[in-house]
Every structure is written in C-alpha cells, then in structure tokens.
Amino acid sequence: MKTFFNLSDEIPPESREEQTHYFQDIFGNSHPLIVEIGSGNGHFLVENALQNPDHNFIGTEILGGRARKFNHKVEKRGMNNIIIFKGDARQFVWEYLYEETVSEFIIMFPDPWPKKRHHKHRLLRHTLLQMLHLRLITKGRVSITIDHTRYRDWIIEEFRKTERFHNVSSANLVNYTGYPDHFPKSLFEVRFRRENRSLFFIQYEKG
C-alpha cells in the first residue's frame, strides 16, 4: 500500500464522490477519517492508528524530513490504516477533502509563534477553523493539545468567532482541560513534560 503522498505530485479528487473513491482505493475500505495537522515525526498518529484499526488516519506535515520519518514508522510496521501527505495542511484540507467527510481533526502542539508580529503565521485562526467546520461531519470534533497559555486562549477566542462549534472540554469554567490520560505520546509532549510545562487539551464539536 502506498503510504507517502507529496502534495505537489498528486492530483486531488474533483468532487465529494471522487473523494470517497480516492480514499477507498488507498485504504481498501470506507472507515471514518481522522486527519492530523502538523504530524511531525508521526509518534502520536502511528500509535493512535495501531490502537484504532477501525479508523483511517491521515497525517500532514510540511517538513520533508519529518514526513519521511513518519512514513518510515508506518512502513516498518506494515500498517494499512495510516498515510502521510507531505505539504501544507491547509492545502490538503481545502483541495483533498469535501463537505462532511471527516470525523476528527487533531492538532498536537501547533507552533505558537509567540511574538505579536508573527501571530499572522499561526495556523489555528478563524479561517482554518471555518474550513475544518465545513469538512467535519455533524458531531465531528477538533482536538488540540497545547503548552502555550497565550496561544491556547487565542485559539479559544478564534473558536468563539466560528459559529456552530461548541466546546466539549470545559472544566471549572474554563474551555480546556489537562492532557488526556488515554492519549498516545507525541514527540513534543515528551519534550515539554521534561521541561515541566503544563499541557492543555481543547476540544470542540460541530453542532
């Protein structure tokens, strides 16, 4: 099974119906789709895919070296429910996915771009959230882990601007919880834990 796709070498499906065939041809079934944005070396998604054989997983990663490490893990384990697209996740979401086709989007530790003049580079802004909303099935979810408190609060504000998403990770009057116990590890999670940073989980559902 082909597991590595370079966005610049592929022709995306041209309709929602074609999208169904496109992923059915790759995975050999039509299990629910889970898409990760910014997968890094793939630690989290590979483990998640091993634990959930009844779902199909798609990783996206812009850096070639990380995308290849991700793919190496997949090939080594001979997995058939996970693939990786190398390229800009926004392009993948917009060109390869159609309305109401994805069960969950996962973003583990998005780059925080802490300086104000760099905020324009932040991925999780209103426009991407609107795009994710269109692609999700009803009750589909966006799940985010994060260590950076100001980006965390910024993301929650961006969700507030996006109608018809509701928060499902509230605790003690705040819209986030701690890192879920059942979640597999990601490379950055391990790194941040070593630095004793607090980790947070944000989850929204399409109503």
Ligand X SMILES: C[S@@+](CC[C@H](N)C(=O)[O-])C[C@H]1O[C@@H](n2cnc3c(N)ncnc32)[C@H](O)[C@@H]1O
Give catalytic residue positions.
Answer: 111
By CB under 6 A, the count of residues binding ligand X is 20
Q: Rounded CA gap, 184 and 65, in Å? A: 22
Q: Which stretch binds ligand X (CB under 6 A): 26-34, 106-114, 154-162, 172-180?
A: 106-114
Closer CB to ligand X, residue 20 or residue 47? Answer: 47
Question: Per rule CB under 6 A, is residue 7 in the interface with ligand X?
Answer: no
Closest separation in Å from C-beta 166 to ligand X: 25
Centroid of chain to Cα 198: 21
Burial pattern 69-86, b for ≥16 Cβ within 10 A else e, equals bbbebbeeeebbbbbbbb
Question: Per rule CB under 6 A, is residue 71 in the interface with ligand X?
Answer: no
Closer CB to ligand X, residue 62 or residue 79? Answer: 62
Q: Rounded CA gap, 68 and 74, in Å? A: 10
Centroid of chain to Cα 114: 21
Closest separation in Å from C-beta 88 to ligand X: 4
Question: Per rule CB under 6 A, is residue 108 in the interface with ligand X?
Answer: yes
3-state secondary structure of 206: strand
Q: Rounded CA gap, 145 and 160, in Å? A: 18
The enclosing H or E element of 104 equals: strand 102-108
Question: Per rule CB under 6 A, is residue 40 in the interface with ligand X?
Answer: yes
Question: Per rule CB under 6 A, is residue 188 in the interface with ligand X?
Answer: yes
In the structure encoding, which two tokens stand for residue 20, read together? 């169904």
Question: Per rule CB under 6 A, is residue 39 in the interface with ligand X?
Answer: yes
Q: Which stretch binds ligand X (CB under 6 A): 85-93, 133-141, 157-165, 176-184?
A: 85-93
Q: Which residues bind ligand X (CB under 6 A)?
A: 38-40, 44, 60-63, 66, 88-90, 108-109, 111, 123, 186-189
